[in-house]
Amino acid sequence: MAAAVSRDDELVVKSPSDNRSYRLLRLANGLCALLIHDPEIYADGGPAPKPNEDVDMDDGDDEEDGDEDDDEDDEEYSDEEGEDDDDEEGEEDEDGSEPKRKKDKGSSEPVIKKAAAAVCVGMGSFADPPKAQGLAHFLEHMLFMGSSVFPDENEYDSYLSKHGGSSNAFTETEYTCYHFEVNREYLKGALDRFSQFFVSPLVKAEAMDREILAVDSEFNQVLQSDSCRLYQLQSHTCSQGHPLNRFTWGNKKSLSNAMGSGINLREEILQMYMSNYHGGMMKLVIIGGEPLDTLEAWTIELFSEVKAGPLLEISPKSDMPFWKSGKLYKLEAVRDVHSLFLSWTLPCLHKEYMKKPEDYLAHLLGHEGKGSLLYFLKAKGWASTLSAGVGTGGTQRSSYAYIFEMSIRLSDSGLKNLFEVITAVYEYINLLKQSEPQEWIFKELQDIGYMEFRFAEEQPPDDYVVDLAENMLFYSEKHIISGEYIYEGWEPELVKHVLSFFHPDNMRVDILSRSFDKQSQAIRCEPWFGSQYIEEDIPPSLIESWRNPVEIDGNFHLPRKNEYIPGDFSLRNASIPKSSNDDNPRCIVDEPFIKLWHKMDITFNVPRANAYFLISVKDGCSSLRNSVLTDLFANLLKDELNEVLYQAYVAKLETSLSVVGSNLELKLYGYNDKLAILLSHILAASQSFSPKMDRFEVIKEDLERAYRNTNMKPMSHSTYLRLQFLRQIFWDVNEKLKVLATLTFSDLAAFVPELLSQLHIEGLCHGNLSGEEAINISKIFKNTLSGQTLSVEARHGERVLCIPHGANFIRSVRVKNDLEENSVVEVLNIFTVIVSCMSNSLLCEMQPL
């Protein structure tokens, strides 16, 4: 057995709150491994395997099936950009950049942590040959199809499934990541099967047709995703010869056509594998409850067989332009939305991760406070949201360039004044260019970054190993854990250098909208998604005006200092013995107006808290009309509070305000030091709130669009139908849309005082808050809000219908998007909801189990 070339137990910097041990190990074949001993995995005293002990190395039996994760069959992911995160109905991620990794569904107490491992290989879809697009993704699939040691195609998945585990993988532009989690005592057996991916995969010819269909199925899941369509349009219109100018997902057409043209796909896969899957290209992370020496012995035993190869170095590539300048691309949207995307290519900044100039600029360009770009656009009625920065995906952070994207959600008026919106963007950019970079802003980001690192919340093991394996590709060994948090070395000249790339000759403009001229003779079709788009020239006079703005609007200025950054991190439970912990919250305030529960944390020992409040209002949902007016009020109030909530959000103190049934739900969660101050500001603004006509029109338009976009996806549609069936009070979104069209500003202005005239608050404070602090929070409500106490009879609780035993219910509803091809099945403990999108219909069948 080969020995490690080097090992280091002290090099990697970890958080002061992290009780895990780390060892950096490099094998003779070039593979670099980070081994993590988590003492909590065997904290209950369970027996940890010995270094030379094989636990259940054969098929085993099914005694562990009770802890099985239901997600294990979905073992592969498509490219990270392919994840469909653009859900208008809930939280939305316009760039679709972050893959949704599987989470544990939960288990019976006590919770026992799992072991996990990940391997990142420094090759991704940029390595696809033009004649076989999607090959790297297809290779990722084929590695799951058995190895010389474990030839059964289902051996790996079966082993994980039997032992409470799951697996997954995703293909990025410049790397591919494979990962799994498993019940703690079966780590060695899982690693044995996993390691063979990188030693002796069979790449079975007889499995290729099936896996082509699996790749095609993944592609079909994102066909109706606006963010994925936009990404592929940007790839399709990228400069010829650039690695981005390809179809990275792959589908049946791209892979079958390659075979049909005489290409031996299996030989191409094996060539790609042999050239790139070697130790020098691989980063391995293992987390288990075993001692580091045991994990090291297993790593050497199982991964020394990986072929040796030169060490990977992701260095900046050529400065080949990504896109043609001076162009405007109009893409037809699936959802009802107007989104403007401005993209600038920056030099590769991998080596500047400690200085993070792109994050400094993202903080300013994406700011939402007074004086910011978004504040200005909202005042004009042109936009409702804005985000800016370099995404986390491989396309946005490649060795060819960093792509800085600004995404602006436009109103109808904003779409009409599109070029004026871009003019405002360049006026703000010019303000930044004329202002010296501010060290105090960098210091704020530095303080927040260190605070997050110091009190980093523990991630699920599967997520953690993936993040660290990715980090090993881009950060120094010392900063594998801390690299994403640290801001060190203020360098204003670097900020100026990066800012110099923000000019119109280096800008791409995309508009995603349903307001699309379908009769235009200029319409083109993107070949893989079939999306319709138009490419137009931007008038040179406009480009010149953006290059040298004549003036800067007087409303623009740099943000003020953030008052919500915490300074007190002391723990309130310091004098409380752990044995005195009561699992249940205590009611510490029980009055007609407010009832408050409290539970101090003595488990996690971090300076964070959660404060949740259910605010019962008068007749908030007593009628369809009132329900819509309550939605309008909540959205207008959030709009009014946006500057305050954004500043707190930057300081990692977050807020959620939503309508739940007939009540308002207010949540504050994050660092506790300024939580009471933020609550005071929110309640004061709520008490003095008076709707404004100009914002009413914009928010009404936004709400109308949100109603229209509800149920665009089968998954959310099936959930909607289930709740519609179960809830006693449920107002149909199509009916709400009709009512919304009839409402006026006067209707809302008359409704709000009545809505808030009678209130009742019930809340829970949990975390790093003493009982006295929680009582003071209740006083903030009593001293700020002037509403009378809402009677018990008028408080609307959530009620569900009782389904008669043996009853059968069938509903057939047409899908909202006629082009949607995906199906969903929901299973509840009392009945089954089956959602089928075949033949453009949605079938809901409910029957007793």
Burial class of 374 by CB neighbour count within 10 A (0 to 12, 13 to 18, 19+): buried
83: nearest Cα among 196, 209, 231: 231
Q: Residue 272, Cβ neighbours under 10 Å: how many?
A: 19
Q: Where are the beta strands (DSSP E) in 547-607?
A: 586-590, 594-600
Q: Give the residue carrying structure tokens 């490419």.
A: 535
Q: Residue 5, Cβ neighbours under 10 Å: how many?
A: 13
Sign, CA torsion 97/102/106/110: negative
**Which residues face 283 on adjacent strands?**
32, 120
Q: Residue 689, Cβ neighbours under 10 Å: how many?
A: 16
Structural contact between residues 352 and 474, judged by C-beta atoms closer than 8 angstroms: no
> Running DSSP on this structure, what letter comes out for residue 364?
H
Active site annotation includes 211? yes
Write out 682-715 in H/E/C secondary structure.
HHHHHHCCCCCHHHHHHHHHHHHHHHHHCCCCHH
Residues 400 and 479: their CA atoms lie apart, in Å, by 23
Please tell me whether the peptide bond between 461 and the residue prior to it is cis, using omega within 30 degrees of 0: no
Joined tokens for residue 723: 């709740």
**Which residues face 178 on adjacent strands?**
119, 169
405 SS3 class:
strand
Structural contact between residues 328 and 535, judged by C-beta atoms closer than 8 angstroms: yes
Sign, CA torsion 209/210/211/214: positive
Active site annotation includes 754? no
- Report in angstroms the alpha-carbon separations of 475 from 78, 350, 391: 25, 8, 17
- Of 211, 218, 427, 470, the active-site residue reads 211
DSSP string, 760-812: EEEEEEEES--HHHHHHHHHHHHHH--PEEPPGGG-----BPPPPTT--EEEE
Q: Residue 582, Cβ neighbours under 10 Å: how many?
A: 9
Structural contact between residues 68 and 49, judged by C-beta atoms closer than 8 angstroms: no
**Which residues face 36 on adjacent strands?**
22, 287
Give kind and range of the element (H or E) at residue 158: helix 155-162
What region, left, alpha or beta, does residue 348 occupy, with left being phi > 0 and alpha being psi -120 to 50 degrees? beta
- Of 140, 332, 526, 762, the active-site residue reads 140
**Active-site annotation, residues:** 140, 211
